[in-house]
Chain A
Amino acid sequence: QVQLQESGPGLVKPSQTLSLTCSVSGVSISGGGYFWTWIRQLPGKGLEWIGYIYYSGSSNHNPSLESRVSISVDTSKNEFSLKLTSVTPADTAVYYCANGGSGVFHVWGRGTLITVSS
Chain B
Amino acid sequence: DIQMTQSPSSLSASIGDRVTITCRASQDISNYLNWYQQKPGEAPKLLIHDVSTLEPGVPSKFSGSGFGTDFAFTISSLQPEDIATYYCQQYDDLPRTFGQGTKVEIK
Contact = CB atoms under 8 A, between A and B. Distances in A.
B45 A108 contact: yes
Q: Is the interface of B mostly helix, strand, loop or mixed?
A: loop
Interface stretch (B18-26, B71-79, B88-96): B88-96
B99 A103 contact: no
A96 B95 contact: no
Interface in B48-107: 49-50, 55, 87, 89-92, 94-101
Interface residues of A, number: 22
Contacts of A61: 95
Interface residues of B, number: 25
Nearest to B95: A62
Interface of B: 1, 32, 34, 36, 42-46, 49-50, 55, 87, 89-92, 94-101
30 contacts: A45-B100, A46-B98, A46-B101, A47-B87, A47-B98, A47-B101, A48-B98, A49-B97, A61-B95, A62-B95, A63-B95, A64-B95, A96-B43, A96-B44, A100-B46, A101-B91, A103-B32, A103-B89, A103-B96, A104-B49, A104-B50, A104-B91, A105-B34, A105-B89, A106-B46, A108-B43, A108-B44, A108-B45, A110-B43, A111-B43
